[in-house]
Chain A
Amino acid sequence: MTVMEQRGAYRPTPPPAWQPRTDPAPLLPDAEPYRVLGTETAAKADPELLRTLYAQLVRGRRYNAQATALTKQGRLAVYPSSTGQEACEVAAALALEERDWLFPSYRDTLAAVARGVDPVEALTLLRGDWHTGYDPYEHRVAPLCTPLATQLPHAVGLAHAARLKGDDVVALAMVGDGGTSEGDFHEALNFAAVWQAPVVFLVQNNGFAISVPLAKQTAAPTLAHKAVGYGVPGRLVDGNDAAAVHEVLTDAVRRARAGGGPTLVEAVTYRVDAHTNADDATRYRTDDEVETWRAHDPIRLLERELTDRGLLDEAAIQAARDDAETMAADLRARMNADAELDPMDLFAHVYAEPTPQLREQQAQLRAELAAGQEGAHR
């Protein structure tokens, strides 16, 4: 037999164990971010839901403005504003049932507030009087997470544990575009997919990780496309369209609750303010760009839809604004009161029982405080 004949007899076959894990097509996101407002779909949306979303958006915008003002007065150490992203924040909270859990990042105070956390308690971390101001179990809101994406595996573990216990609880985990570059984002998506954990990942793609634009963050077609690699459906939504974000998240939550596994949602939005009050956004973006996004403002989009359809009148708009103003005045008043801190709290919550070493240090601080009160030393 000639060499050519031998070659002719050879039939390449895939390795024995090879088979496609899953069909990628149904997992792929749409080409364009999903929108409801200004489309025919809007007519099918529940008017009551839209009005609630509107009131929460107005309230959220005012909250962002008030918190930013408080940084200027020195009442807050720092505030990462979510102005322009309120639709994502509000929809995140409203898409969940009471028994579900929210895992916010440091920018998502507003989502926590919309879920019922006291506005002052939600700002405790940023005020600097304690790390988490609220009891996470009260409203099922995990502590605001400062390290990027590290809260995502927590959401997966909690959802997994709930399912093991037979509870139909869903976890919604929020992360920014920058956070999708972190290893924990990958590990969380992968664990969630393998375990089919009832988790929804919401990426708020607001354009920048502090100053670094998305193009320098990822080469993926969209962040929603990342889902396919995990065997998870990716959804792309207009993050400034509150009705669309709410619908997509609600679908994903329902799917997770029914045992359908995780979903990755990318909400395309924009951070109109700087990263925090300490950031100078003019160094990395133009006013023109910001103005384009202001024209696509989430409140304006929803207000337009509601007024055009006769679902919102001037009185209702004013009522929403008044409600927001009352919230802001209350927040201002309570934040202007000095926090009362107990220095002995430093040792109270390190371990269930303080170690002998901490007891010694506790005694030392107690003595220092006593001496300080007598005016002996500073």
Chain B
Amino acid sequence: MTTVAVKPATMAQALTRAMRDAMAADPAVHVLGEDVGTLGGVFRVTDGLAKEFGEDRCTDTPLAEAGILGTAVGMAMYGLRPVVEMQFDAFAYPAFEQLLSHVAKMRNRTRGAMPLPITIRVPYGGGIGGVEHHSDSSEAYYMATPGLHVVTPATVADAYGLLRAAIASDDPVVFLEPKRLYWSKDSWNPEQPQHVDPIGRAVVRRSGRSATLITYGPSVPVCLEAAEAARAEGWDLEVVDLRSLVPFDDETVCASVRRTGRAVVVHESTGFGGPGGEIASRVTERCFHHLEAPVLRVAGFDIPYPPPMLERHHLPGVDRILDAVARLQWEAES
């Protein structure tokens, strides 16, 4: 018997696989959105689902995000588990009324009688050369809305595992897909039994003792790269991948910061009013006596997302992360 080498799968393929497996396991799972059927999604993330499960299970809807999410609410009321696709981050804004006023609140409004198990897939973030309205990092809006879970994978394995967990969740989950990692590959093996973590746990992607980089989604590979580069400076950086912004894993994050005494939060979203402010506050409140320096943020600038030819100046890169690490008063440690 010969062993066939497994072709590495991309994050996009892992997401497709997650939906396929969820649809096969539970007839209540329905995928809907603009272009998700015949085309397989503009990023091909829903490729083949309509063919395999029929157009009633993977449905091309009219082009209307409020309608897509609003009808998903009704479908969930009747016992289905809709997985909706918002084609791009900024295209989701017309659906915010449905998201904030109904999706996030229905369980609460009805005292638990009417939970809404809806997964809202949102391709987000920059770095792919998209023109305006195609590169927003909108996680802060979702994080500020009680009733929603907010998760974002950084690895191919997490893309599969977190999406399965999101679809299985009895609560609405905003599932943020880092667009620029869609074509990334790692050691994930689709042939092996899959591991599905519950939502809400961060992981230490790289151990270190000099400082903690707290990050998520598209910034995780950038932070890992920065950590490698930091070795040249004699800095041993720990990288924590949050994976879930809501609920927030204070335990893993604070355990890391208490070990290292220093922290930088890294994300693409704007700094002012962005997720980093919340994270830095939480860390400061819980780890103040362990901190050797203030918690710093490396974020996108406080500007509307820039045109593609300028985005490399906006997005947090290795240099900007290393500059922040340098500002953490290293001489104090020596």
For the complex, is B94 an interface residue (Cβ under 8 Å from A)? yes
A-B CB contact pairs (8 Å), 28 listed = A130-B111, A131-B108, A132-B109, A136-B113, A143-B114, A147-B97, A147-B101, A153-B70, A153-B98, A154-B70, A154-B71, A154-B74, A157-B70, A158-B75, A161-B78, A161-B80, A164-B30, A164-B56, A164-B80, A183-B66, A190-B64, A348-B111, A348-B112, A352-B107, A355-B200, A355-B247, A356-B250, A357-B248
Give per-residue flags for B43-84: 1 if the beta carbon is below 8 A from chain A beta carbons, else 0.
000000000000010000110101101111111111110100
For the complex, is A194 an interface residue (Cβ under 8 Å from B)? yes
Residues of B within 8 A of A155 (CB): 74
The answer for the CA separation of A131 and B61 in the assembled complex, in Å, is: 31
The answer for the CA separation of A162 and B71 in the assembled complex, in Å, is: 12
Contact A143 to B110, CB < 8 A, known contacts A150-B101, A187-B62: yes
Among A154, A171, A349, contact of B111 (Cβ-Cβ < 8 Å): A349
User: Is there contact, CB below 8 Å, between A156 and B247?
Assistant: no
| Centre residue among A160, A356, A357 by max chain B CB count within 10 A | A160
Residues of A within 8 A of B146 (CB): 350
User: Is there contact, CB below 8 Å, between B101 and A154?
Assistant: no
How large, as a class, is the contact surface on chain B?
35 or more
For the complex, is A288 an interface residue (Cβ under 8 Å from B)? no
CB-nearest residue of chain A to B115: A352
Residues of B within 8 A of A136 (CB): 77, 110, 113-114
For the complex, is B246 an interface residue (Cβ under 8 Å from A)? yes
Known: A132-B110, A161-B77, A345-B111. 4 other contacts (CB 8 A): A131-B110, A153-B73, A157-B74, A357-B248
Tally of A interface residues using CB under 8 Å: 40
CB of A192 to closest CB in B, whole Å: 9
For the complex, is A159 an interface residue (Cβ under 8 Å from B)? yes
Give per-residue flags for A119-154: 1 if the beta carbon is below 8 A from chain B beta carbons, else 0.
000000000001110011100001100010010111
User: Is there contact, CB below 8 Å, between A142 and B67?
Assistant: no
Closest 7 CB pairs of A and B: A157-B74, A153-B70, A187-B67, A157-B71, A355-B247, A158-B74, A161-B78
CB of A5 to closest CB in B, whole Å: 45
User: Is there contact, CB below 8 Å, between A187 and B70?
Assistant: yes
CB of B8 to closest CB in A, whole Å: 35
User: Is there contact, CB below 8 Å, between A150 and B64?
Assistant: no
The answer for the CA separation of A275 and B287 in the assembled complex, in Å, is: 53
The answer for the CA separation of A96 and B225 in the assembled complex, in Å, is: 62
User: Is there contact, CB below 8 Å, between B101 and A153?
Assistant: no
Give per-residue flags for A173-200: 1 if the beta carbon is below 8 A from chain B beta carbons, else 0.
0000000000110011011001000000
The answer for the CA separation of A271 and B112 in the assembled complex, in Å, is: 34
Residues of B within 8 A of A159 (CB): 74
Residues of A within 8 A of B66 (CB): 153, 183-184, 187
User: Is there contact, CB below 8 Å, between A350 and B147?
Assistant: yes
Residues of B within 8 A of A164 (CB): 30, 56, 80
The answer for the CA separation of A198 and B110 in the assembled complex, in Å, is: 25
For the complex, is B171 an interface residue (Cβ under 8 Å from A)? yes
User: Is there contact, CB below 8 Å, between A187 and B64?
Assistant: yes
For the complex, is A165 an interface residue (Cβ under 8 Å from B)? yes
Among B69, B72, B113, B251, contact of A137 (Cβ-Cβ < 8 Å): B113
For the complex, is B102 an interface residue (Cβ under 8 Å from A)? yes
User: Is there contact, CB below 8 Å, between A190 and B149?
Assistant: no
| Centre residue among A165, A190, A194, A350 by max chain B CB count within 10 A | A350
For the complex, is A18 an interface residue (Cβ under 8 Å from B)? no
Residues of B within 8 A of A356 (CB): 200, 247-251
Give per-residue flags for A96-135: 1 if the beta carbon is below 8 A from chain B beta carbons, else 0.
0000000000000000000000000000000000111001
